[in-house]
Amino acid sequence: MEVSLKQIDLGSRNILENLFSYYVYDMSEFMGWGPNSEGLYAFNSETLDSYWKEASHVPYFIYVDKEIAGFALVRNYSIEPEIFDIEQYFVLRKFKGKGVGKKALLAVVANHPGKWQIRVLKENEAALKFWDSAVKNIVGSRYDVSLDIDVDLEMYFIRFEAVS
């Protein structure tokens, strides 16, 4: 099983938007979101615009062999631009628990060596466990986990530095 990344071009944005609705559905467990009147987990697609307008934002598809397996949205954190931030990260359920997310994170970090942070909803214990393991896979015990406020939510912040 080969895990790889491909930067998402504007012509493939619609595929990201289709996958993003599954991400919103997954996050609804913690955010309390419901489907719209048409039964869809919709979102404001304009929130993705920066990934094609800002050089500091990079969208990736995650592939397993030649099959799309998810996405990673990487940016420089607006509050501290010298820090890379995983804005959103999603692996389709078919690939969960098979090491795909960890291998994809390793590739993302290799593409962007430097200071990193990953923000995790306080209520999402499974995600915190995944990220703890995935980061440990990259930097061993050289990372920090702390509770902090991001905009208006208390979240776990996982901070580490990855060198090339």
pLDDT at residue 36, as a whole number = 83
The residue whose two tokens read 């995983």 is 86
Main-chain phi, psi angles of 58, to 5 degrees: -130, 120
CATH number at residue 59: 3.40.630.30
pLDDT at residue 142, as a whole number = 96
Q: What is the pLDDT along the chain (164 residues), one digit of tens a residue?
A: 999 999 999 999 999 999 999 998 888 777 778 888 888 878 889 999 999 999 999 999 999 999 999 999 999 998 889 999 999 999 999 999 999 999 999 999 999 999 999 999 998 999 999 999 999 999 999 999 999 988 888 899 999 999 86
Q: CA 51 → CA 27, 72, 105, distances in Å? A: 21, 11, 18
What is the CB neighbour count within 10 angstroms for residue 113?
Answer: 12
Confirm whether pTM is higher than 0.85.
yes
Residue 134: name the closest of 120, 148, 123 by CA: 120
34, two tokens:
């419901």
Domain limits for position 87: 3-162
Instruction: Identify whether the C-beta of residue 4 lies closer than 8 Å to the C-beta of residue 107.
Output: yes
The total number of structural domains that make up the chain: 1
Q: Which amino acid would we find at residue 91?
A: V
Buried b (16+ CB within 10 A) or exposed e, 35-47: eeeeeebebeeee
pLDDT at residue 7, as a whole number = 98
